A and B are shown apart, each in its own frame.
Chain A
Amino acid sequence: MTPEEAVGRLRSGMTIGIGGWGARRKPMALVRALLRSDITDLTVVSYGGPDVGLLAAAGKVRKLVSAFATLDSIPLEPHFTAARQRGAFELVELDEAMFMWGLTAAVHRLPFMPIRAGLASDVMRVNPQLRTVRSPYDDGEELAAVPALRLDAALVHLNRADVHGNGQYLGPDPYFDDLFCEAADAAYVSCERIVDTADLLKEAGPQTLLVKRAFMDGVVETPNGAHFTSCAPDYDRDEAFQRAYAQAARDPEAWRAFADRFLSGDEDAYQAAVAAFHKEEA
Chain B
Amino acid sequence: MTTKATRAETCVLACAEAWRGAGEVLASPMGTIPAIGARLAKLTFSPDLLLTDGEALLIGDVPAIGAKAEVVEGWLPYRQHLALVATGRRHVMMGASQLDRHGNQNISCIGDWTRPVRQLLGVRGAPVNTLNNPTSYWVPRHSRRVFVEHVDMVCGVGYDRAAAAGPSATRYHRIAHVVTDLGAFDFETPDRTMRLRSLHPGVTVEQVAEATGFPLTIPDEVPYTREPTDAELRLIREVIDPKGTREREVPPA
Contact = CB atoms under 8 A, between A and B. Distances in A.
B78 A176 contact: yes
Interface stretch (A29-37, A120-128, A244-252, A259-267): A120-128
Contact of B78 (A66, A70, A80, A175): A175
Given A117-B128, A176-B79, A68 B157 contact: no
B119 to A, nearest CB: 4
B215 interface: no
B125 A121 contact: no
B79 A174 contact: yes
A121 B113 CA distance: 13
A214 interface: no
A100 B79 contact: yes
A96 B77 contact: no
Given A120-B164, A143-B168, A93 B121 contact: no
Contacts of A176: 78-79
B12 interface: no
A278 interface: no
Contacts of A69: 122
A87 B115 contact: yes
B116 A84 contact: yes
Contact of A172 (B55, B117, B121, B162): B55
B228 to A, nearest CB: 29
B55 A173 contact: yes
Nearest to B161: A120
Contact of A120 (B82, B116, B162): B162
Interface in A236-282: none
Given A69-B122, A122-B155, A97 B116 contact: no
A84 B109 contact: yes
Contact of B118 (A85, A115, A119, A126): A85
Given A84-B116, A122-B154, A173-B55, A75 B125 contact: no
A66 B128 CA distance: 14
Contacts, number: 131
Nearest to B130: A121
A82 B120 CA distance: 10
Nearest to A171: B56
A7 B120 CA distance: 31
Given A70-B121, A175-B77, A95 B126 contact: yes
B64 interface: no
Given A96-B128, A120-B162, A121-B154, A75 B77 contact: no
Interface string A39-56: 000000000100000000
A118 B154 CA distance: 10
A119 B155 contact: no
A123 B124 CA distance: 11
Nearest to A88: B115
B116 A100 contact: no
B109 A173 contact: no
Contacts of B156: 121
A110 interface: no
A58 interface: no
B179 interface: no
A267 B85 CA distance: 40
B139 to A, nearest CB: 16
A155 to B, nearest CB: 18
B176 interface: no
Contact of A123 (B56, B77, B119, B123): B123
A138 B250 CA distance: 50
B252 interface: no
A95 B123 contact: yes
Nearest to A134: B168
Given A121-B155, A173-B55, A68 B131 contact: no
Which of A67, A115, A122 has the most chain B CB within a 10 Å cutoff? A122
A183 to B, nearest CB: 14
A228 interface: no
Which of A67, A76, A87 has the most chain B CB within a 10 Å cutoff? A67
Interface of A: 21, 48, 66-70, 75-76, 80-82, 84-85, 87, 93-98, 100, 115-123, 125-126, 141-143, 172-176
Interface of B: 55-57, 75, 77-79, 82, 85-86, 108-109, 113-128, 130-132, 153-157, 161-162, 164-169, 171-172
17 contacts: A69-B122, A84-B116, A85-B116, A95-B128, A96-B78, A96-B128, A97-B127, A116-B128, A116-B169, A119-B127, A120-B131, A120-B154, A120-B162, A122-B113, A122-B123, A125-B154, A175-B78
